């Protein structure tokens, strides 16, 4: 089974801090994704990466950046945390090889609170 591991389940940070959320997958997947989940809004894509050092903006990239130095690891960075970034953050990975409709595999999420 694919395993996507997010480094923290719960995180509390202060306004203005630089925050790092880490995600590791163990199945050699090329694609990795960061979402935030808010009630009534579903999942919204922040950034995704289709290869090492490659990244693309999603629907809501403002205030975030990402890093992918190794294939298995995809980091989400909040450059200067703000209270409106309090949310659940979900990481996912997928294998684009073969048919295009391979499912994404998700981690358990990090619930981030910015005080």
Give the binding site for another protein (CB under 8 A): 4, 31, 33, 40-43, 45, 48, 50, 56, 58, 90, 92, 94, 96, 99-109
Tell me whether residue 31 or residue 75 sits nearer to another protein (CB atom). Answer: 31
- Least Å distance, CB 61 to another protein, is 13
- Least Å distance, CB 106 to another protein, is 4
- Least Å distance, CB 103 to another protein, is 4
Q: How many CB atoms lie within 10 A of CB 50?
A: 14
Of 59, 62, 10, 2, nearest to 31 (Cα)?
A: 2
- Residue 37 contacts residue 108 (beta carbons within 8 Å): no
Tell me whether residue 56 or residue 79 sits nearer to another protein (CB atom). Answer: 56
Tell me whether residue 51 or residue 79 sits nearer to another protein (CB atom). Answer: 51
Start-to-end Cα distance in the chain: 37
Tell me whether residue 17 or residue 31 sits nearer to another protein (CB atom). Answer: 31
- Residue 99 contacts residue 89 (beta carbons within 8 Å): no
Reduced to 3 states (helix: H, G, I; strand: E, B; else coil), residue 37 is strand
């Amino acid at each position: 089974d694919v395993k996507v591991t997010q480094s923290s389940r719960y995180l509390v940070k202060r306004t203005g801090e630089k925050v790092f959320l880490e995600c590791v997958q163990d199945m050699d997947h090329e694609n990795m994704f960061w979402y935030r989940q808010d009630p009534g809004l579903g999942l919204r894509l922040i950034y995704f990466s289709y290869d090492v050092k490659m990244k693309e903006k999603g629907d809501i990239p403002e205030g975030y950046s990402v890093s992918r130095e190794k294939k298995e690891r995809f980091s989400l960075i909040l450059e200067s945390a703000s209270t409106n970034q309090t949310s659940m953050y979900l990481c996912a990975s997928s294998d684009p090889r073969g048919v295009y409709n391979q499912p994404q595999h998700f981690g358990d999420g990090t619930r981030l609170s910015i005080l």
